[in-house]
Amino acid sequence: MSDANAHGRHPLLADEAVRARLERRRRRDRRFRRYCIGAIGLALAFLVVLFVDIARKGWSGFTVTTIRLPIYFDPAMINPGGTVDAKGRPDPQALATADYATLWREPLKARFPVEGREQRRALYGLLGEAATYRLRDLVIADPSLIGKRRGVWLPSSSDVDQVHKGKVPRSQAEGGPLDGQQLAWLTALEKNDLRLQWNGTFFTSGDSRDPQQAGILAALLGSFYAILVCLVISFPLGVAAAVYLEELAPKNRRWLDMIEVNINNLAAVPSIVFGLLGLALFLNIFGLPRSSPLAGGMILSLMTLPVIIIAGRAALQAVPPSIRQAAYALGATPLQVIQHHVLPMAMPGILTGTIIGLARAVGESAPLLMIGMVAFVVDPPKTPLDPASALPVQVYLWADSPERGFVEKTSAAILVLLAFLIAMNSVAVYLRRRWERRL
């Protein structure tokens, strides 16, 4: 008698029960698969919404509204004394301090005749200091313009820029950023003498109180120097620590277990704690320059070290033991085994962990705020010892600014930061594949 009959059940009924259980199990598997696909789709949807919103607000930050004016580069205004240097060129000091504002105010007043101080102030409000500095840069770059007349596209004021881009509707602009007369002048200029141009100043200048002149060069170079210092310090130390802990350190030692626990804990420490440590250690004790990429990079290296060590140890553990045993069997020393066999095979994983750690460091602002990298920096740093800002800190500063023009600047800076991260990850993928091909 079969087991099914012994328990009083027919074999066909038992088979149907098994099939029913299998069907329920398959339905649960399909349902779980749908949940996983839905979670991925929801995450991608949120990511797309985030990127689209940032791009929608930030793309206009890469352009600037310009007004065309016929500029006469009057020698009496630019170099009234007629001074020249030893090579017969106009005196650079005179060119740098000339009254360039008058050069664009006169043709603007000729285009729209006004009377009275208030009307002149409203008319001159169509442009700003950015136009003055643009003329200065043109003359310094090409002194042969002196004495000539040229049609020059000059950046408008921030209020005009926001209205022309549609960031501020014209129905709300009157009585707010612009008055009715300024809107009428703007309408007259839009026919032939007003257009959007690529805003190269955004990438070639430092911070400014004027949105039209504000750029990210100082912050971009500050982030580059800080990440470079972080990489130079954290990568060799992290790889060396991972190799020692995994390959050379004696096993079953209590102090080794304590080191491993501390490294794992350091990877979860809030970044502000590393900022306090760097403030007390690097600035107060070692006396490093405040608000410098050197101090910022050293603090970021403290944050990145645990990540590199953990990723490095995981990559070393993934190397098959047979590789080591074969090398030892051929007479290789422990150093030769590590250098020629283990490290090359673990390098893709080590590089991945390094890029993950650096990507986290690029987006950190809290530890940099603690060492003063929140300072207003106009001149781009030339060395890691010069005062500088960083891209996340620059985003923080602009996001806190009340001017409307800094809203699009903030989103544009975020886009540049994301592009920087994507470039870093692309380099990591390239290096990983290159190492894998070598193996």
Rounded distance between C-alpha atoms, residue 199 and residue 417, angstroms: 17
Residue 60 DSSP label: G
Tens-digit pLDDT profile for residues 202-234: 998 888 888 888 889 988 999 999 999 999 999
Q: Is the pTM of this model over 0.85?
A: no
Express each pLDDT in 268-298 by its tens digit: 888 888 888 888 888 888 888 888 899 889 9
Residues in the chain: 439
Sheet arrangement for strand 63-72: 149-155, 63-72, 194-198
Helix (H, G, I), strand (E, B) or coil at 250: coil
Look at the alpha carbons of 390, 391, 394, 400 in this order and tell me if their dihedral is positive or negative: negative
Q: What is the pLDDT of residue 1?
A: 44
Q: Which of 228, 390, 369, 384 is nearest to 294 (CA)?
A: 384
Q: Is 283 helix (H, G, I), strand (E, B) or coil?
A: helix
Tell me what pLDDT residue 229 has: 92
Q: Buried b vs exposed e over 381-417: b needs ≥16 C-beta within 10 Å? A: beebebbbbbbbbbbbbbeeeeebbbbbbbbbbbbbb
From first to last of the 439 residues of the chain, give the pLDDT tens digit: 445 454 555 666 667 887 888 888 888 999 999 999 999 999 999 989 988 888 888 888 899 999 999 999 888 888 776 666 666 677 778 788 888 888 999 999 988 888 888 888 888 888 888 889 899 989 888 888 888 898 999 999 888 888 888 887 777 666 667 888 888 888 888 888 899 999 888 998 888 888 888 889 988 999 999 999 999 999 999 999 999 988 888 876 777 778 888 888 888 888 888 888 888 888 888 888 888 899 889 999 988 999 999 999 999 988 888 888 898 888 888 888 888 888 888 888 888 888 888 888 888 888 888 887 877 788 888 888 888 888 898 898 888 888 888 888 998 999 998 888 888 778 777 877 777 656 5
DSSP string for 387-428 = ----HHHHHHHHHT---THHHHHHHHHHHHHHHHHHHHHHHH
Residues 357 and 307: beta-carbon distance below 8 Å: yes
Tell me if 163 sits within 8 A of 182, measured CB to CB: no
